[in-house]
């Protein structure tokens, strides 16, 4: 059946209270606390929700929520109701609830029960393996109902029953109830240690990756530094060589300027090189020009051959230039031959010969 609006209002008011009235649950988990209590009350309407003061061994007193009432069991085909209180500790839902069987005045706890001790504290395998969000109050109540149906924790008080002297409990609840807080404290410490260990492993892995990245970067910077220093040494050596060349050229320039200054006022006959060869007639002059042209074309083709060998010119333009130069050389040589033949026919014997 649906949970009454009064229960929902009560939980909302308690879990949203602030200041001195605030309950000691994690703000991020109060919604989960509310949902689990509503779910178990809806499944077992005989349970109700309230808050009570809870006193720890060190004297601290806090208010905790609890589900209180009865859960049904079936023993040998007969239905019984077992009174039960389920306290939600501060670390709930990460910590398991503290459950107590609370016998009425005409009932006693079965001595030597497998999961209920003499103080009524319930210990179950499900609680020992409690892990949020997989575990919840509704499943715990159902499993306790099944376990108590197999082995009821309470039976009627026999006539003349004298209760044993009370034993010291590890925890005290306001109202005289004992609570085993040590179990929850140990589990909380274990869970926190596991979480810290996991985070430490992650940080260690991240630190190792970062250290490896920095070492790689350091090696790369050292290599680049060596390259830069080597380049600087080469540039300094090249600068020295150029300074030496500039010094030599400056000395040569000074010497040349001095020579020009010394010989500037002297008269000297200037004759062009062509004046050394005096052609006797126009045919000889033509032969001289054509031979000079032939030799110049030969030199040009030699230069093209050297450029082709040094891969300074492509084959196609090389062939085009060679073709043009060969054609001009052919005409130059043909003109020379015609001019010599005409000289011989004229009987010129002192013409240009090579």
- Measured in degrees and rounded to the nearest 5, phi and psi for residue 212 equal -65, -40
What is the structure's pLDDT at 174? 43
Q: Can you state the percent helix, strand and coil of the chain, rounding each to 5?
A: 55, 15, 30
Over residues 123-155, the pLDDT tens digits come to 999 999 999 989 999 999 999 999 999 999 998
What is the structure's pLDDT at 48? 92
Is residue 273 scored above 80 in pLDDT?
no
Q: Rounded to whole angstroms, how far apart are CA atoms 123 and 125?
A: 7
Range of lowest pLDDT (31-45, 97-111, 165-179, 190-204): 165-179
% residues pLDDT > 70 (the chain): 85
Mean of the per-residue pLDDT values of the chain: 84
Average pLDDT (174-192) is 63
What CATH number matches the domain at 5-179, 3.30.1370.100, 3.10.110.10, 3.90.550.10, 3.40.50.880?
3.10.110.10
Range of lowest pLDDT (24-38, 62-76, 145-159, 272-286): 272-286
Over residues 154-181, the pLDDT tens digits come to 988 877 676 666 554 444 444 444 455 5
Q: Rounded to whole angstroms, how far apart are CA atoms 305 and 2?
A: 106
Phi-psi region of 193 (alpha: psi -120 to 50; beta: other; left: phi over 0): alpha
Q: Residue 142: count other Cβ atoms within 10 Å of its Cβ.
A: 15
Range of lowest pLDDT (23-27, 65-69, 257-261, 331-335): 257-261
Over residues 193-244, the pLDDT tens digits come to 888 888 888 888 888 888 888 888 988 999 999 999 999 999 999 999 999 8
What is the structure's pLDDT at 45? 92
């Amino acid at each position: 059946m649906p949970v009454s609006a009064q229960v929902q209002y009560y939980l909302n008011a308690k879990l949203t209270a602030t200041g001195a009235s605030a309950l000691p649950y994690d703000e991020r988990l109060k919604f989960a606390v509310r949902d689990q209590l509503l779910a178990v009350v809806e499944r077992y309407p005989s349970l109700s929700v309230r808050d009570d003061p809870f006193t720890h061994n060190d004297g601290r007193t806090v208010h905790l929520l609890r589900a209180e009432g009865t859960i049904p069991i079936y023993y040998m085909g007969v239905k019984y109701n077992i009174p039960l209180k389920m306290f939600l500790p501060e670390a709930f839902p990460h910590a398991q609830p503290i459950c107590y069987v609370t016998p009425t005045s005409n009932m006693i706890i079965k001595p030597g029960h497998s999961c209920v001790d003499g103080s009524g504290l319930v210990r179950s395998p499900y609680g020992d393996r409690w892990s949020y969000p997989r575990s919840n109050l509704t499943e715990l109540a159902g499993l306790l109902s099944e376990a108590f149906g197999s082995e009821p924790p309470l039976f009627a008080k026999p006539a003349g029953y004298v209760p044993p002297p009370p034993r010291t409990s590890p925890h005290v609840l306001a109202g005289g109830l004992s609570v085993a807080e040590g179990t929850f404290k140990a589990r909380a410490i274990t869970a926190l240690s596991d979480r810290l260990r996991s985070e430490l492993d992650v940080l260690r892995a991240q630190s190792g990756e970062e250290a490896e990245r920095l070492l790689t970067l350091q090696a790369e910077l050292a290599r680049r530094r060596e390259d830069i220093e080597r380049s600087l040494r080469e540039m300094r050596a090249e600068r020295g060589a150029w300074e030496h060349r500039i010094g030599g050229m400056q000395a040569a320039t000074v010497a040349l300027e001095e020579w020009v200054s010394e010989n500037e006022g002297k008269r000297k006959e200037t004759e062009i090189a062509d004046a050394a060869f005096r052609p006797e007639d126009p045919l000889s002059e033509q032969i001289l020009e054509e031979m000079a042209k032939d030799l110049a074309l030969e030199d040009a083709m030699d230069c093209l051959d050297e450029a082709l060998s040094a891969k300074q010119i492509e084959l196609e333009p090389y062939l085009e230039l060679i073709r043009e130069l060969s054609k001009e050389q052919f005409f130059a040589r043909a003109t020379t031959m015609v001019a010599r033949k005409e000289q011989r026919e004229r009987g010129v014997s002192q013409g240009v010969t090579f």
